[in-house]
Amino acid sequence: MKRRGRFAPTPSGMLHIGNAFSALASWLQMRQIGGEFLLRIENIDKPRSRPVFAEQQLDDLLWLGIDWDEGPRIGGPFAPYEQSKREPLYEAALDVLRNNGRIYPCYCSRSELASIASAPHGLSSEGPAYPGLCRHLTSEERAYKAQKKTPSLRFIMPEEAITFQDGISGTMRYDGEALGDFIVKRADGIFSYQLAVTVDDAAMGITDVLRGADLLDSTPRQLALYEALDLAPPSFSHVPLVADEYGKRLSKRDKSLTLASLRETGVAPERLIGAIAYTAGWRDRLEPLAAQELISHYRAPDGNTQPIIMTQQILGWLRL
């Protein structure tokens, strides 16, 4: 079976240098081993997603020299490649989880959850772990609460620890109970990232997920979903984030470092590729490079606990 990787941006803003690094690393990994590279638009959160951003992201990736074998604009055997068009698959997965007793309705409000000061901290991106307040409600209690509030749906995490081998971090261990039951469908009807990405990666035959270290602690939740849905999980690797010289993570809010802004100011794509290659340790000097020239030089980072630093000197070199 041919190995298959992917890049799956969320069109809630424009791609920045950190996104470019993750996309390039995933693309190089697949191109180096002769695998297939897919592009998927993760626009399941419709209020935050904008079609104009999705189109800009596609243009920016092609400008950078990153192409794809399947995805938007070219199609493929696993179309559609936009999550907003794949909702029946997520609903079918919920049916499986429901039939297996792995989800339950949750009527807690955000204010109620915010008041749980004693709850252990869960995933870095999602705050305190859910303490299971609604897991053991009776049918009568659920019916009463449903009269006042539309529930979200939560997935029941296993109590035993989840261990996996990350391609960069090595052996990782998470306690499922500490992570807490998590939402797979919001009260407003939007499917969660955790559910959608698991279903899509399995349906599209993804064998290798390479993404940013900010998603490392999403992996145990997704692995629990793979097990509950009886799906084969891919291998996972999490690359370092990209930060400025003060250690502050680059984000979509820094408009000057978006790919669109760099393009508009006349930065050549070879300059950006060269800067990424140098900071990632793939090359020992700053020099303009095409993405194709890096294929033989790619190697996985030695770790991901420390960010890759994009100094002002390097950023200045970009604009020479």
The per-residue DSSP string of 154-221 comes to: EE---SSEEEEEETTTEEEEEEHHHH--EEEE-TTSPBPHHHHHHHHHHHTT--EEEEEGGGGGGHHH
What is the distance between the alpha carbons of residues 222 and 198, in angstroms, rounded to a whole number?
6
State which fold the 4-85+240-318 domain adopts. Rossmann fold (3.40.50)
Domain spans of the chain, in order of start: 4-85+240-318, 88-194
SS3 category, 233 = coil
Residue 177: the pLDDT is: 59
Max Cα–Cα distance, the chain, nearest Å: 69
- Work out the average pLDDT over 28-38: 98
- Of the residues 85, 185, 252, 255, only one is catalytic, namely 252
| CA pair distance 225, 249, nearest whole angstrom | 29
Average pLDDT, the chain: 91
Annotated binding residues for Zn(2+) = 106, 108, 130, 134
pLDDT band of residue 246 (cuts 50, 70, 90) is confident
Q: Which superfamily does 88-194 belong to?
A: Glutamyl-tRNA Synthetase; Domain 3 (3.90.800.10)
pLDDT of 233 > 70? The answer is: yes
- Over residues 294-315, the pLDDT tens digits come to 999 999 988 788 899 999 999 9
Residues of the binding site for ATP: 252
List, as residue ranges, the binding site.
Answer: 6-10, 42, 106, 108, 130, 134, 193, 211, 252
Q: Is 248 a catalytic residue?
A: no
CA pair distance 152, 186, nearest whole angstrom: 5
Domains 4-85+240-318 and 88-194 share a fold: no
